[in-house]
Amino acid sequence: MPRQSSRSSRFPWKRLALLALLTGLSFAIWARLRHSTTGDAPAAASLLPPLPQDPYIRVAFNHSESNRYTDPYRQIERLGDDLEAEIIGAIASAQTGINVAIQELRLPGIAVALIERHRAGIPVRVILEDSYNESWQELTARRSDLDDRARSRYDELTRLLDIDADGSVTPDEIAQRDAIAMLRAAGVPTIDDTADGSKGSGLMHHKFVAVDGRRSIVASANFSLSGTHGDLDRFGSRGNANNLLAIDSPELTALLDGEFAQMWGDGVGGEPDSRFGVKKADRGISNLEIGSSLVSVRFSPSSAWIEEAATTNGLIAAAIARAKRRIDIALFVFSSQPIADALRIRNRGGIEVRALIDPQFAFRDYSEGLDMLGVTLPNENCKIEDGNAPWQTPIASVGTPDLTPGDVLHHKFAAIDDRLVITGSHNWSNAANRNNDELVLVIQNPTVAAHFSREFDRLYRNARLGLPERIADRIAANPCP
């Protein structure tokens, strides 16, 4: 089965001085010096003014230009909202219970917060994707079997654990930095999507935290360095571009707790009664009022017998169909033909469409970005996807963002007419729609929408638009009949 991948306090800018004093200090201090002397973060005076926040749905972006914080692992000052601090704050506030469903959890700060609540007697439960439910020692034992992508993640985890940067990882460093090992050692109940008796059902791709039956975190970010702060070995890295919502709503949290309960079953060491993927009961679309916001909630996946219009991708297409003026989308993956068709219909009706897709997926043969640019790229077997429909009137406002090497566009959002937002963990793909455990929120609220519009404009400002020459050359040289 194919698998996809995934507000903080302000700190005044302080220039580091006296290089001689750095001799013999830790790697973290050296990293801070190198970052601050590269001029990666602009002066505080250049920060954008913060936008108003809705009292019930607060928005954060790790690439925000209206805030700065100190990365707790590299000890560097940088632009952005501290997503980890948001998550830790929600966890620390818990009084009655915490449910966490997250594809990847590698941030030790979050592990510490969960352990503290667990030791305080608060029920804490964690569900992970099975591919990420391994400690550093377990990964080390099978290091020779890791593919390139898994090996890269392993190497980054090794750097994170190696606090003194001496090239070796000690038991004490594991106890401080290996989030999976820390949770296990503390006895925090944890399962993954093999708890249903399978080898892993699709992808457990959720990124949510439900607290006390009334507050929740919903994000596009995994709880990892690359998902939030940035890569340890890249000093300009600000992490994959991601968003996070902190939501005060008993009704939404109840829905998240219900999703969690299906996946949890009877929990650790119990019967294989957990339900992941299409084994879950399909609950359709839930419509909520959260303060002044109208919010539609849909969980994935949907079984094959459920028609497309009733699926999560169908909800996305329906929201697009309501656009009156403009649709801006920022996506990691875009391979859903029905959603592309909905965009084409709105564009034909005079609606402006702008689209940014992560460079590693934007111009693959299955990418709907190619449709929007009016071209077709057969796959290596000279096959074209079913229903492929290149736009007869292509648009020039499709491209890829200019990001620091190593960082990716991990968003899954659309901002429509300055009033409506589509966001969540759900990539706009058939795999997300029919296989993976996912969540989409459609939020009608101009205050919330303003934050996503600003983020899109930031990404679009220096984007590379249009069909790259290398892709045009591939299409022109296509040997397929």
Q: What are the C-alpha distances in Å from 233 to residues 31, 230, 267?
A: 9, 9, 37
Three-state DSSP class for residue 93: coil
293 and 423 together in one domain: yes
Whether 73 is in a domain gets the answer yes
Mean pLDDT, residues 119-125 taken together: 98
305 and 385 together in one domain: yes
> Is residue 45 predicted with pLDDT exceeding 70?
no
Whether 9 is in a domain gets the answer no
Q: 223, 65 in Cβ contact below 8 A? A: no
Chain centroid to Cα 221, Å, comes to 3
Residue with structure tokens 């306090």?
9
Whether 270 is in a domain gets the answer no
Q: According to the model, what pLDDT value does residue 42 have?
A: 45
226 and 354 together in one domain: no
Whether 330 is in a domain gets the answer yes
209 and 174 together in one domain: yes
For 1-5, 166-170, 275-279, 448-452, which range has the lowest pLDDT when averaged over its residues?
1-5
181 and 105 together in one domain: yes
Mean pLDDT, residues 208-228 taken together: 98
Whether 114 is in a domain gets the answer yes
List pLDDT tens digits, range 357-406.
Answer: 999 999 999 999 999 999 999 988 899 988 999 999 999 999 999 999 99
> Is residue 26 predicted with pLDDT exceeding 90?
no
SS3 letters across 292-316? CEEEEEEEECCCCCCCHHHCHHHHH
Of 129, 131, 122, nearest to 206 (Cα)?
A: 129
310 and 403 together in one domain: yes
Q: Compute the radius of gyration of the chain from its Cα atoms.
A: 22
Q: Using CA atoms, how far apart are residues 153 and 159, in angstroms rounded to an integer? A: 10
320 and 250 together in one domain: no
- Per-residue confidence at 5, pLDDT binned at 50, 70, 90? very low
List pLDDT tens digits, range 129-156.
Answer: 999 999 999 999 999 999 999 999 999 9
> Is residue 284 predicted with pLDDT exceeding 50?
yes
- Which of 203, 223, 258 represents a domain boundary (last residue)? 258
The domain of 174 spans 56-258
238 and 305 together in one domain: no
Whether 218 is in a domain gets the answer yes
Return the CATH number at 210: 3.30.870.10
Q: What are the C-alpha distances in Å from 223 to residues 118, 152, 242, 359, 364?
A: 19, 17, 11, 22, 27
Across the strands, what pairs with 58? 246
252 and 314 together in one domain: no
Whether 38 is in a domain gets the answer no
Of 292, 293, 258, nearest to 437 (Cα)?
A: 258
242 and 289 together in one domain: no
Whether 400 is in a domain gets the answer yes
Number of domains in the chain: 2
240 and 331 together in one domain: no
Q: Using CA atoms, how far apart are residues 227 and 138, in angstroms rounded to an integer? A: 22
- Per-residue confidence at 346, pLDDT binned at 50, 70, 90? very high
Q: What is the mean pLDDT of the chain?
A: 91
> Is residue 18 predicted with pLDDT exceeding 50?
no
- Which of 216, 242, 258 represents a domain boundary (last residue)? 258
214 and 331 together in one domain: no
Q: Using CA atoms, how far apart are residues 230 and 251, in angstroms rounded to an integer? A: 34
Q: For residue 285, give the DSSP letter.
A: E
